Amino acid sequence: MVKLTISLLILVIAVLLAVLLVKDDPGFVLIKYADFSLETSLAFGIVAVVLAGFVIQILIRLLLILWRLPKTLSRQAENRRLEKSRKLTAQGLIDLAEGRFEQSERNLLKLIDYAENPLLNYLAAARAAQHLGKYDERDNYLKAAHDARPDAEIAIGVTQAELQLAAGQAERALATLNHLRSLAPKHDYVLKLLARVYFKTGEWSSLCELLPEIRKKQLVKPELLAQMESAAYKGCLDHSARQQNGSLEKSWNRIPKDKQGDVGLLLHYIDLLEQYPGDRKQIETLLVKAINQQWDARLIERFGKLEPEDANAQLATAEKWLKDCGTSDVLLLALGRICIRLKLWGKAQSYLEASVGQKPTVENCLELAELLSREELNNPTQASQYYRQGLELCLQETPHE
Catalogue the long-range contacts made by 185-189 (C-beta closer than 8 Å, 24 or more residues apart). 187/154, 188/217, 188/219, 189/158
Burial (0-12, 13-18, 19+ Cβ within 10 Å), 397 = exposed
Domain 314-401 classified CATH 1.10.1200.10? no
Q: What is the pLDDT of residues 321-359, one digit of tens each?
A: 999 888 899 999 999 999 999 999 999 999 999 999 999
Q: What is the pLDDT of residues 94-124, one digit of tens each?
A: 999 999 999 999 999 888 887 888 899 999 9
pLDDT bin (cut points 50, 70, 90) of residue 146 is very high
> Is the pTM for the entire model greater than 0.75?
no
Measured CA angle at 39 (ends 33, 43), to 5 deg? 125
Q: What is the pLDDT of residues 267-298, one digit of tens each?
A: 999 988 888 765 678 888 999 999 999 999 99
Contact in structure between 121 and 109 (CB atoms under 8 Å): yes
Q: What is the pLDDT of residues 187-245, one digit of tens each?
A: 999 999 999 999 999 999 999 999 999 999 999 999 999 999 999 999 999 988 888 77
pLDDT bin (cut points 50, 70, 90) of residue 401 is very low
Contact in structure between 381 and 359 (CB atoms under 8 Å): no
Q: Measured between alpha carbons, how far apart are the two ends of the chain, in Å?
A: 87
pLDDT confidence of residue 80: 74
C-alpha separations of 348 from 309, 335, 352 in Å: 19, 7, 6
| Residues 312, 313, 316, 321, Cα dihedral to 10° | -140
C-alpha separations of 192 from 136, 162, 165, 187, 253 in Å: 26, 11, 13, 9, 25
Q: What is the pLDDT of residues 52-65, one digit of tens each?
A: 777 777 788 777 77
Q: How far apart are alpha carbons 346 and 340 in whole angstroms? A: 9
- For CA atoms 392, 393, 398, 401, the dihedral sign is positive
Q: What is the DSSP letter of 184?
A: -
Query: pLDDT at residue 89 above 90?
Result: no
Nearest Cα to Cα of residue 300 among 331, 329, 332 = 331
Contact in structure between 386 and 356 (CB atoms under 8 Å): yes
Buried b (16+ CB within 10 A) or exposed e, 120-145: bbbbbbbbbbbbeebbebbbebbebb
Nearest Cα to Cα of residue 259 among 284, 288, 237, 283 = 237
